[in-house]
């Protein structure tokens, strides 16, 4: 019979199957389970660090809430993080920045609903990464405190997988791997007294953040009737829509406030929650179409999400639990590896049926500012080789309301990958690796361009660290070109910050307009106590200037004060509702003005700067900055910017004190980490450049890039003995000057 079966198989026909054909075995360094933004970032980062990695996703597409099943546009609009809500120089870097920058190019070239496919391409490009879509882990096997293997099944194929990992990263959102492994977890709200959280309830309960179901509507070019299904809810009047805008143009992309499930089990009841959301969604659309004039006569729904966007379920407990106070007090940690900064965005448990607004200051805390999340939040305290990233990290319910957003989750995925790299290298537990090898872990992240505001990294392997640097030109700190005006009468004082490059400030000049009588305006030079606070710090000098009636009045404030090079200062103006200051839409890293757009909010930096210049010139953007290990703005002189008055190309040259052998060069460009919505290539980014090796007076080209979009570029070449490097910036995506954060060189094995 076996012989007959083999003959039939060779002719192309099966009469029986070999069960072994449907069993696959994998041994990997890291198994990442869950293909949302956290899982993709973790898997790609691990692969780039050299780990043999498998990524298992139980859906046919990647992205989670950013994917084509969930997000109405699937173009990255829901990927929020640190850089939102006026936090300056704060957007996440590393793999997530690569993804965002690739997405912006696709969006600007006509792609829509593309994120899932783009993420798949990202994964499939990595040599060390195996991607398994439609593959569900259904069993977790343990020995003592270690996960030894995962059993998984690929839906629709009868394939089963036996995966033996050294480390496992649970990026499922629902913490399903950790749950099956018996890891300690929480689900619900802590009591107010447990962590002293102002937003927590008096007593603990099982309430979570709810889930949302998105839809998309399009204009059909003619009137379209809508008859709701008989099971849809009926919302005949506006009483159901407090704080829920639903008039043009907010109708075509769906609404986050079509929300339910916060008072149910968002895991066990997920299917029922979706049906409830459908009843709400069709009821909302019936209201828009049939109850009052909402400007939707020609609109029709043409897409509804296949899966709800889930905000919260289980949270795995680590050696530290992130809390509300960690976020509102902007805490840093010795093992801080991720930064957050999004709103503490708590939603009412009743979701759509809450009588009142669906979110906002009355429920949460807007703009807490930047805070760090320690590495101890990214590994389980009860399973020794279990990591977690995403919305299942070790956090309280309240803290998760900020840390759950997708860019923060992806940043955490990169940190978890680095921890897996340390575990694999030293064959140790997550806890031991975190304690004993943290500085090496942080360095590995730095080499992937994962950097936090305020990080200073020791990089002894960088061959450029003691190089002599010259540039064809440098920019002085002058902000000109009026693009708007801001009142000096706001609740938050108007102010402009800068990092000193000189030891003296004689005067600072600003531009004002005054429609009324001449007035005297006072100003203070203040030593900054915290980067985003304009209401703190030591006043170093005071000055005043006369502001006559008129437009575009140039006023100089004489301070004649001593400064400390490399320290942050700001100039703060007295309140005067009759006067307005000019600002320019020029992005310069490390300088920012106070934000006065919303009263009552913390005075965080805005993403524009006041028009100003200084005497003597402040030049914080010198060529030697590319030697610093800080590679984003902040309280550092960390970027070279050429003189915008000098045309491109611009040249940066590094000369070593002696000949050195090199085989890798890493470049970090400026991609405007202040930008909130990035759907076009960043104008500050270097588009075309040439990289050359220097040997005496001779040059050898090793790279010529014409269409660069990325912030971080790595060039590897055969080892060569060289005297230095030469970078020529040929073109940017729109800015008139070259901008480079770092040039690093290495001799790697």
Contact 178, 388 (CB under 8 A): yes
pLDDT given at position 4? 47
What's the rounded mean pLDDT across residues 32-46? 98
pLDDT given at position 633? 82
For domain 22-207+311-323+375-455, the CATH class is: alpha beta
Flag whether pLDDT at 530 surpasses 80: no
In our burial notation (b when 16+ CB lie closer than 10 A, e otherwise), range 184-215 reads ebbbbbbebeebebebbbeebeebbbbbbbbb
pLDDT given at position 599? 42
Six token digits for residue 219: 């204009």
Give 147-198 pLDDT, tens digit per residue.
Answer: 999 999 999 998 999 999 999 999 999 999 999 999 999 999 999 999 999 9
What's the rounded mean pLDDT across residues 667-695? 91
Query: Residue 601: how many CB atoms within 10 A of its CB?
Result: 16
What's the rounded mean pLDDT across residues 476-484? 92
Q: With bands split at pLDDT 50, 70 and 90, how would you rate the model's confidence at 677?
A: low
Q: With bands split at pLDDT 50, 70 and 90, how would you rate the model's confidence at 2?
A: very low
Contact 119, 63 (CB under 8 A): yes
Contact 660, 74 (CB under 8 A): no
pLDDT given at position 261? 97
Distances in whole angstroms, Cα of residue 179 to Cα of each of 185, 314, 317: 8, 9, 11
Q: Residue 669, Cα to own-chain centre: how many angstroms? A: 17
What's the rounded mean pLDDT across residues 656-680? 92
Q: What does residue 442 show for φ and ψ, rounded to 5 degrees?
A: -65, -35
Q: With bands split at pLDDT 50, 70 and 90, how would you rate the model's confidence at 601?
A: very low
pLDDT given at position 678? 75
The CATH number of domain 478-615 is 3.30.450: no
If phi > 0 it is left, if psi is from -120 to 50 it is alpha, else beta; for residue 472 that is: alpha
Q: Who has greater pLDDT, 60 or 638?
A: 60
Q: Residue 170, Cα to own-chain centre: how many angstroms? A: 20
CATH (residue range 468-474+621-746): 2.60.120.260
| Neighbouring residues of 175: CB distance < 8 A, sequence distance ≥ 6 | 183, 185, 313, 314, 315, 316, 388, 392
Q: With bands split at pLDDT 50, 70 and 90, how would you rate the model's confidence at 11?
A: low
Flag whether pLDDT at 10 surpasses 60: no
- pTM of the shown model: 0.94
| Neighbouring residues of 3: CB distance < 8 A, sequence distance ≥ 6 | none
Beta bridge partners of 507: 558, 615
CA nearest neighbour of 592 among 608, 568, 576: 608
Query: Residue 144: how many CB atoms within 10 A of its CB?
Result: 7
Contact 98, 710 (CB under 8 A): yes
Which range (114-118, 307-311, 361-365, 366-370) has the least confidence?
Answer: 366-370
What is the DSSP code (8-state) at residue 699?
E
Flag whether pLDDT at 581 surpasses 90: yes
Fold: same for 468-474+621-746 and 478-615: yes
What is the DSSP code (8-state) at residue 82?
T
pLDDT given at position 604? 45
- Where are the domains positioned within the chain? 22-207+311-323+375-455, 211-309, 468-474+621-746, 478-615
Flag whether pLDDT at 600 surpasses 70: no
Contact 367, 601 (CB under 8 A): yes
**Alpha helices for 427-505 (secondary structure H):** 430-436, 438-446
pLDDT given at position 89? 82
Distances in whole angstroms, Cα of residue 589 to Cα of each of 108, 490, 640, 700: 24, 25, 10, 32
Using CB atoms within 10 A of its CB, is residue 531 exposed (0-12), middle (13-18) or buried (19+)?
A: buried
Give 199-251 pLDDT, tens digit per residue.
Answer: 999 999 999 999 999 999 999 999 999 999 999 999 999 999 999 999 877 77
Distances in whole angstroms, Cα of residue 377 to Cα of each of 448, 507, 615: 21, 47, 47
Beta strands in 35-111 (DSSP E): 53-56
pLDDT given at position 9? 52
Flag whether pLDDT at 5 surpasses 50: no
Q: Who has greater pLDDT, 634 or 616?
A: 616
The H or E element spanning position 37 is helix 37-48
Look-up of token digits 């480390």: 167
* HSE-CB of 207 using CA atoms within 13 angstroms: 18
Measure the CA dihedral 101/104/106/112, to 10°. Answer: 130
Q: With bands split at pLDDT 50, 70 and 90, how would you rate the model's confidence at 279?
A: very high
Contact 330, 283 (CB under 8 A): no
Rounded to 5 degrees, what angle do the CA atoms 65, 211, 339 make? 55
CA nearest neighbour of 416 among 28, 32, 26: 32
Using CB atoms within 10 A of its CB, is residue 439 exposed (0-12), middle (13-18) or buried (19+)?
A: exposed
Q: What does residue 413 show for φ and ψ, rounded to 5 degrees?
A: -60, -40
| Neighbouring residues of 479: CB distance < 8 A, sequence distance ≥ 6 | 584, 586, 588, 591, 609, 610, 611, 612, 613
Query: Residue 154: how many CB atoms within 10 A of its CB?
Result: 18
pLDDT given at position 590? 83
Six token digits for residue 158: 């009868």
How many angstroms separate the CA atoms of 62 and 71, rounded?
12
pLDDT given at position 606? 59
The H or E element spanning position 539 is strand 538-547
pLDDT given at position 46? 98
Which range (88-97, 231-240, 441-450, 674-683) has the least confidence?
Answer: 674-683
What percent of the chain lies above the pLDDT cut of 90?
83
Which range (47-51, 233-237, 246-250, 296-300) has the least confidence?
Answer: 246-250
pLDDT given at position 21? 83
Give 692-742 pLDDT, tens digit per residue.
Answer: 999 999 999 999 999 999 999 999 999 999 999 999 999 999 999 999 999
What's the rounded mean pLDDT across residues 462-469? 98
């Amino acid at each position: 019979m076996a012989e007959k079966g083999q003959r039939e198989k060779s002719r192309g026909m099966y009469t029986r199957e070999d069960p072994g054909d449907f069993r696959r075995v994998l041994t990997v360094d890291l198994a990442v389970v869950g293909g949302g933004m956290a899982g993709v970032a973790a898997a790609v980062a691990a692969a780039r660090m050299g780990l043999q990695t498998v990524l298992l996703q139980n859906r046919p597409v990647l992205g989670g809430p950013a994917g084509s099943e969930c997000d109405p546009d699937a173009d990255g609009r829901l990927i929020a993080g640190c850089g939102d809500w006026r936090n300056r120089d704060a957007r996440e870097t590393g793999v997530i920045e690569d993804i965002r920058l690739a997405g912006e190019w696709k969006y600007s070239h006509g792609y829509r609903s593309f994120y899932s496919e783009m993420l798949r391409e990202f994964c499939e490009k990595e040599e060390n990464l195996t991607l398994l879509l439609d593959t569900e882990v259904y069993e977790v096997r343990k020995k003592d405190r270690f996960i030894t293997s995962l059993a998984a099944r690929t839906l629709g194929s009868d394939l089963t997988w036996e995966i033996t990992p050294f480390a496992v990263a649970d990026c499922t959102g629902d913490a399903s791997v950790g749950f099956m492994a018996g890891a300690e977890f929480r689900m619900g709200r802590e009591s107010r007294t447990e962590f002293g959280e102002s937003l927590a309830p008096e007593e603990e309960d099982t309430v979570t953040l709810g889930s949302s179901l998105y839809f998309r509507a399009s204009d059909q070019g003619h009137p379209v009737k809508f008859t709701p299904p008989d099971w849809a809810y009926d919302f005949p009047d506006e009483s159901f829509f407090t704080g829920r805008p639903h008039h043009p143009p907010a109708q075509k992309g769906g609404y986050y406030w079509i929300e339910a499930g916060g008072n149910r089990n968002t895991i066990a009841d997920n299917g029922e929650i979706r049906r409830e959301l459908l009843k709400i969604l069709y009821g909302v659309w019936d209201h828009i179409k049939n109850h009052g004039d909402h400007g939707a006569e020609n609109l029709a729904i043409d897409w509804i999400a296949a899966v709800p966007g889930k905000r919260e379920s289980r949270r795995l407990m680590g050696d530290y639990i992130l809390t509300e106070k960690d976020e509102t007090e902007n805490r840093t940690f010795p093992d801080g590896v991720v930064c957050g900064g999004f709103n503490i965005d708590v939603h009412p448990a009743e979701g759509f049926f809450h009588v009142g607004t669906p979110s906002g200051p009355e429920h949460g805390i807007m703009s807490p500012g930047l805070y760090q999340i320690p590495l101890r939040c990214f590994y389980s305290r009860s399973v020794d080789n279990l990591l977690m990233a995403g919305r299942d990290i070790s956090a309280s319910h309240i803290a998760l309301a900020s840390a759950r957003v997708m860019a923060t989750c992806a940043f955490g995925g990169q940190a978890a990958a680095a921890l897996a790299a340390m575990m694999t290298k030293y064959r140790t537990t997550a806890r031991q690796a975190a304690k004993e090898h943290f500085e090496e872990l942080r360095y590995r992240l730095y080499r992937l361009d994962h950097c936090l505001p305020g990080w200073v990294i020791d990089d002894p392997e960088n061959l450029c660290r003691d190089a002599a640097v010259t540039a064809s030109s440098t920019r002085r700190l002058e902000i000109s070109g009026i693009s708007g005006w801001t009142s000096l009468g706001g609740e938050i004082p108007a102010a402009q910050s800068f990092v000193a490059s000189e030891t003296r400030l004689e005067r600072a000049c600003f531009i004002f307009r005054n429609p009324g009588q001449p007035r005297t305006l006072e100003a203070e030079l203040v030593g900054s106590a915290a980067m985003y606070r304009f209401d703190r710090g030591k006043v170093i000098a005071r000055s005043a200037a006369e502001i006559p009636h008129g437009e575009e009045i140039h006023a100089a404030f004489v301070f004649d004060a001593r400064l400390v090079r490399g320290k942050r200062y700001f100039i703060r103006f007295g309140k005067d509702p009759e006067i307005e200051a000019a600002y320019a839409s020029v992005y310069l890293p490390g300088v920012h003005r106070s934000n006065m757009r919303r009263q009552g909010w913390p005075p965080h930096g805005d993403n524009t700067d006041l028009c100003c210049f200084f005497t003597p010139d402040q030049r914080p953007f010198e060529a030697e900055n590319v030697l610093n290990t800080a590679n984003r703005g902040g309280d550092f002189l960390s970027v070279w910017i050429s003189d915008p008055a000098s045309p491109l190309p611009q040249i940066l040259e590094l000369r070593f004190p002696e000949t050195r052998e090199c085989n890798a060069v890493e470049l970090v460009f400026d991609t405007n980490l202040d930008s909130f919505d990035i759907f076009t290539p960043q104008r500050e980014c270097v588009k075309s450049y040439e990289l050359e090796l220097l040997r005496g007076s001779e040059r050898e080209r090793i790279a010529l890039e014409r269409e660069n979009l990325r912030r971080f570029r790595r060039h590897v070449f055969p080892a060569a003995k060289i005297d230095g490097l030469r970078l020529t910036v040929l073109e940017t995506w729109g800015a008139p000057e070259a901008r480079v954060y770092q040039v690093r060189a290495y001799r790697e094995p």
